[in-house]
Amino acid sequence: MKFITKHLRAWEGPLTSDLVQHPGEFGLGNIPRQLTPDATTTVVCGFCSTGCGLRVHLKDGVAINLSAETDYPVNLGMACPKGWEALTPLHSPDRATSPLLKNPATGRLEPVSWDQALDVFCSRFQSILTEHGRESVAWLGTGQIPCEELAFLGALGKFGMGLIHGDGNTRQCMSTAATAYKESFGFDAPPFTYADFEQSDVLVFIGANPCIAHPIMWQRVMSNSHHPEIIVLDPRTTETAMAATQHLALQPKSDLTLLYGIAYILVSKNWVDLDYIGNHTTNYPAFAEFLQTFDTARVANVTGLTIEAIERCAKTIGQGQRVSLWWTMGVNQSHEATRTAQAIINIALMTGNMGRPGTGANSITGQCNAMGSRLFSNTTNMLGGHDFLNPVHRKKIASILNIEDASIPNKNSLPYDQILAGIESGRIKGLWIVATNTAHSWINQSWARTTLAKLEFLVVQDMYGNTETAKTADLVLPAAGWGEKEGTLINSERRFGLMKKVSRAPGLALSDFNIFRLIAQRWGCGEMFQKWTSPEAAFQIMKELSRDQPCDISGIRDYQMIDDCGGIQWPFAQGSEPLPQVERRLFEDGKYYHSDGRARFIFEPTRPVAEPLDAEFPLVLLTGRGTSAQWHTQTRTGKSDILRKLYPANIYVEVNPSDAERLKIKANTQIFIRSRRGKISATAYITSTVRPGQIFIPMHYPELNQLTFPAFDPYSHQPSYKYCAVTLETVARLGLQRKLAHRN
């Protein structure tokens, strides 16, 4: 036997040696020999707003692999699967490698030169503008590209091309938080730093599932050494709810009532910080008065919770020493979203849980640069968080950019939903979409697609030429993606992180920044952007734009400084201490950005949902993130074999067992989901993590938004993706059932 073992068994050889590891240096420990880098550098991740540092392994300057950055203060050596796979989508065969122009004869997109693409771009938009005026062309931007590119796009659109209307997909995720903060604090200023996750003794998550949506933030919660109470307000038993000490599974869209109900108990039990209220806020007496109608019995009735559960939650908050409240899309995507976010802010204010470690009313952002979009996209706000309606602001920006005051519109952009409405009514005839996928992600999708089809000219600028939206474009501009260009991204805790150029863009793809340069020149406004020669040059302009604003970053020297510090949170004004502290939170002095220095209590009676249930459509459709391996419309995560292994390939619907039994729905069979706007089929997944009367479908599957109802928050104009009325239908015919099963 020993003879056999020794001589007839191949212990070594070419296949074995492919997996042989050796010390990778750069602190990487053992790594496979063929992946040995000759340098490494840290790049901030380009998926979500956590803003993790990824250590990219380079060989001859090109990224060959990556791992999580050990020392980056955000993620402390960890990353979620999307981060680990960040390089993979860059090499997809679906990349757009040259400009594509629709051939009117065939209706197909065909490759053209940049020269021709620029000609078409400028001549078509210019002719529409000449004929129909400045409001007839608009753009829809994104939270996925760096600040410098967003600022360039915004300045080019409004000051160079003379457009009035531009908005971004951040309307779909963060506009509620931005609106709420602006009204409550006087500036769009998420106050927290991630260390707060570790320092709280009570953490309240409202409409948030960080275990799945922000796993690396959840890592910080897990490392909280204070044995915190974790309260989750969510209709579903999400992964986060599973990890909670208190889960309040409230009825969908009863969150505002519940939050007012909690505030009512806090007031009536005197669990409020009257000193803080007196010194740092206004309008509290009216708020306390308003709360009187939210007695616990009524709140229990509306929310479907027990009085005990509500009282226990309020008591935990009221008696906590360091209470932090965190929210995301469950709050932001609602018909009364802004007031709900403000109800959270109110709780933090009234209990004095602001400005101290482990406290705060904290909006967790969605996209990697939603925060940058909020400050620098020149859409809702003027560059640097300024106001288009304020002549002093217009003058300031004009003088920094060295342009005429008159080049700056003195009116606000239309929000996303109104831009689409403008297309439908024929007022807007040209649209430029940059790095977003409207035809997949917009609410009431069939309407959105019909509306886009009405455009005279649609330009889509994207990494991929085959997104649902790009396929409908007249012109596709091929963009370089994350890792193929430089720029800064701002994460949820206001930290500027640096994106670096570590991979070559395919074919003729160009960074969005350089596409804007080309357009500026061809449009005839190149002169205006003479100083915008590189992202870092644009960053220097951004510093000036931010000066004396709450988001002042004039103290950040350059990219090198951001890199050296592991990211830098705003504000960091010129004249600040030589190096910023690693983690800083806002409002430690209790001074808010309103002119009186005080935060406002803002509230409003609750309103019924826009599409109530009825006999024909008796179920609530909830939507949200499916898994940590999926990102939004999957244009990138769908390109990674590894990520695809980590989520179901086809659309599925979660149904409660009692509903399944009543409707005779069998597990893993195809069923139809019908709303007033459409009908789709999905695999039934029977689980009690959704309550009876509710179903859940992840947002990543393109069919989903055929069902959703176009309700919007009146203040933030954010779509309410989280509630619409639907019904379930089983597939009656066995043959069809089999056919559908087979297709999956």
Partner 1 sequence: MLTSDESLIEKLLAEQQSLTAVERFSQKYVRTQGHSQQRYYRDLIPLSRPQTGEQYAFAVDLDKCTGCKACVSACHSLNGLDEGEVWRDIGLLRIAEESVAYQQTVTTACHHCLDPACAEGCPVLAYEKDEETGIVHHLDDQCIGCQYCTLKCPYDVPKYNKKRGIVRKCDMCHQRLAVGESPACVQACPSGAIAIQIVSQEALRKNLQPGDRLLPGAFDSNYTRPTTSYTGARPANGHPADGGKIRVEHAHWPLVFMLVLTQAAVGVFVVNGLLLHQPFANLVAFVFLNLGLGLSVLHLGQPLKAWRAFLGWRKSWMSREIMAFSAFAGLASVVTGWGYLKLLPFSLPVFLQRLTIPLTWTTMILGLVAVSTSCMIYVDTRRPFWSLPMTFLKFFGATFGLGLAIAGLGKPSFTLMGCALLLTVSLLELSLLRNSALEKSRAILYGPLASLQWARALLLVLALCSAVSPLVAITALLLAQLIERTCFFMAASAHRMPGGI
Within 197-216, which residues bind partner 1 (CB under 8 A)? Answer: 211-212, 215-216
Scanning residues 226 to 255, which ones bind partner 1 (CB under 8 A)? 237, 239-243, 249
- Sole window of 38-46, 167-175, 188-196, 385-393 interacting with partner 1 (rule: CB under 8 A): 38-46
The site map against partner 1 for 313-352 (x = CB under 8 A) is ----------------------------------------
**678-686 and 652-655: which strand pairing?**
parallel
> Binder to partner 1 among 2, 3, 6, 14 (CB under 8 A)?
14
Output the CA–CA distances (angstroms, integers) from residue 229 to 152, 301, 544, 590, 670, in the order listed: 45, 25, 43, 26, 40
CB of 175: closest distance to partner 1 in angstroms? 28
Q: Which of 366, 363, 443 is nearest to 180 (CA)?
A: 363
Could you tell me if 675 and 617 are in contact, meaning their C-beta atoms sit under 8 angstroms apart? yes
Q: Does 29 bind partner 1 (CB under 8 A)?
A: yes
What's 382's DSSP letter?
Answer: B
Scanning residues 598 to 627, which ones bind partner 1 (CB under 8 A)? 627
- Sole window of 362-370, 386-394, 421-429, 513-521 interacting with partner 1 (rule: CB under 8 A): 513-521
H helices within 237-290, ranges in order? Answer: 239-242, 255-268, 274-280, 284-290
Q: Which is nearer to partner 1, 77 or 597 (CB)?
A: 77
Q: Which of 702, 720, 725 is nearest to 710 (CA)?
A: 720
C-alpha Rg value of the chain to the nearest Å: 26
Q: Does 310 bind partner 1 (CB under 8 A)?
A: no
Sign for the pseudo-dihedral over CA of 153, 458, 106, 519: negative
CB contact set of 662 (below 8 Å; sequence gap of 6+): none
> Binder to partner 1 among 123, 321, 402, 530 (CB under 8 A)?
530
Q: Does 484 bind partner 1 (CB under 8 A)?
A: yes
Could you tell me if 559 and 486 are in contact, meaning their C-beta atoms sit under 8 angstroms apart? yes
- Sole window of 1-9, 194-202, 391-399, 593-601 interacting with partner 1 (rule: CB under 8 A): 1-9
> Binder to partner 1 among 176, 219, 373, 469 (CB under 8 A)?
219
Q: Does 35 bind partner 1 (CB under 8 A)?
A: yes
Could you tell me if 268 and 296 are in contact, meaning their C-beta atoms sit under 8 angstroms apart? no
Q: Does 16 bind partner 1 (CB under 8 A)?
A: yes
The site map against partner 1 for 453-482 (x = CB under 8 A) is ---------------------------x--
> Binder to partner 1 among 400, 508, 582, 663 (CB under 8 A)?
508
CA 614: distance to chain centroid? 32
Q: Does 656 bind partner 1 (CB under 8 A)?
A: yes
Six-digit token string for 132: 């129909």
Q: Which is nearer to partner 1, 84 or 712 (CB)?
A: 84
Q: Does 218 bind partner 1 (CB under 8 A)?
A: yes
- Sole window of 67-75, 370-378, 458-466, 593-601 interacting with partner 1 (rule: CB under 8 A): 67-75
Rounded Cα gap, residues 619 and 655, in angstroms = 10
Q: Does 40 bind partner 1 (CB under 8 A)?
A: yes
Scanning residues 547 to 576, which ones bind partner 1 (CB under 8 A)? 559-560, 563-564
Rounded Cα gap, residues 704 and 616, in angstroms = 19
Six-digit token string for 570: 């705003």
CB of 377: closest distance to partner 1 in angstroms? 22
Q: Does 114 bind partner 1 (CB under 8 A)?
A: yes
CB of 725: closest distance to partner 1 in angstroms? 22
CB of 149: closest distance to partner 1 in angstroms? 14
Number of residues that bind partner 1 (CB under 8 A): 119
Q: Does 487 bind partner 1 (CB under 8 A)?
A: no
**137-141 and 430-434: which strand pairing?**
parallel
Other C-beta atoms within 10 Å of 204: how many? 31
CB contact set of 626 (below 8 Å; sequence gap of 6+): 212, 647, 648, 698, 699, 700
Q: Which is nearer to partner 1, 67 or 436 (CB)?
A: 67
Strands (E) across 564-699 are located at 568-569, 599-600, 619-624, 652-655, 670-675, 678-686, 694-698
H/E element, 743:
helix 734-743
Scanning residues 669 to 728, which ones bind partner 1 (CB under 8 A)? 685-689, 692
Q: Does 399 bind partner 1 (CB under 8 A)?
A: no
Scanning residues 720 to 739, which ones bind partner 1 (CB under 8 A)? 738
Helix 391-401 and helix 535-546, axial crossing angle in degrees, nearest 10: 150
